[in-house]
Amino acid sequence: MPADFRHITDFQRLRFLGADTAIGDGTVVIARVGAAADEKPYMKVLMTCVGRKVGGQWRIAAVRLIPILAE
């Protein structure tokens, strides 16, 4: 990923399976820093993330990325 690009993660749904395990669903957009609102992002994917609480801190245990196909 080029140095002037950043990722923007947006969770639409978060489910807790227990006190120390959660699953989040959302989107990840990789876009150029300072891009105009109408500029097409470099990449946009659907994401599912499993989080585990370890030692009092949340850690990513697994991530699944699904490309969004162009229409």
Identify the residue with better confidence: 62 or 39: 62
Place of tokens 């820093």: 33
Residue of 30, 25, 41 lying closest to 7 (CA atoms): 30
Of the candidates 58, 57, 60, the one whose C-alpha atom is nearest the C-alpha of residue 48 is: 60
At residue 43, the pLDDT reads 85
CATH number given to 5-67 = 3.10.450.50
User: What pLDDT, on the 0 to 100 scale, is given for residue 48?
Assistant: 97
Looking at per-residue pLDDT, the higher value among 69 and 26 belongs to: 26
Q: How far is CA 58 from CA 23, 47, 53, in A?
A: 12, 17, 4
Of 16-25, 28-37, 53-62, the least confident: 28-37
pTM of the model: 0.73
- Mean pLDDT (the chain) is 91
